[in-house]
Amino acid sequence: MVVRLTKQGLEKLQQELNYLKTVKRREAIEAIARAREKGDLRENAEYDAAKEAQGHLEKRIAELSDQLSRVDIIDESRMDQSKAFIGATVALKDMDNGKQLTYVLVSKEEADFKAGRISIDSPVGKALLGKGAGETVEVKIPAGTLKYKVENVSR
DSSP string across 64-110 = HHHHHHTEEE--GGGS-TTB--TT-EEEEEETTT--EEEEEEE-TTT
Chain centre distance of CA 125: 13
* 97 and 137 housed in the same domain: yes
Sequence-ordered list of residues with C-beta below 8 angstroms from that of 101, at least 6 positions apart, any chain = 91, 92, 93, 94, 148
Q: Write the pLDDT tens digit of every residue in 9-59.
A: 889 899 999 999 999 999 999 999 998 888 777 778 888 899 999 999 999
Q: Write the pLDDT tens digit of every residue in 74-110.
A: 766 666 667 888 888 999 999 999 999 999 999 888 8
Domain boundary among 73, 103, 125: 73
CATH number for position 43: 1.10.287.180
When mean pLDDT is compared across 70-84, 115-129, 134-148, the lowest value belongs to: 70-84
* 122 and 85 housed in the same domain: yes
Looking at this protein, which amino acid is placed at residue 135? E
Range of the domain at 12: 3-73
* 80 and 147 housed in the same domain: yes
* 85 and 39 housed in the same domain: no
CATH number for position 134: 3.10.50.30
Mean per-residue pLDDT for 2-13? 84
Q: The whole model's pTM is what? A: 0.68
Q: What is the pLDDT of residue 80?
A: 62
Sequence-ordered list of residues with C-beta below 8 angstroms from that of 34, at least 6 positions apart, any chain = 46, 50
Q: How many domains does the chain have?
A: 2
Q: What is the pLDDT of residue 93?
A: 94
* 10 and 60 housed in the same domain: yes
Domain boundary among 51, 73, 95: 73
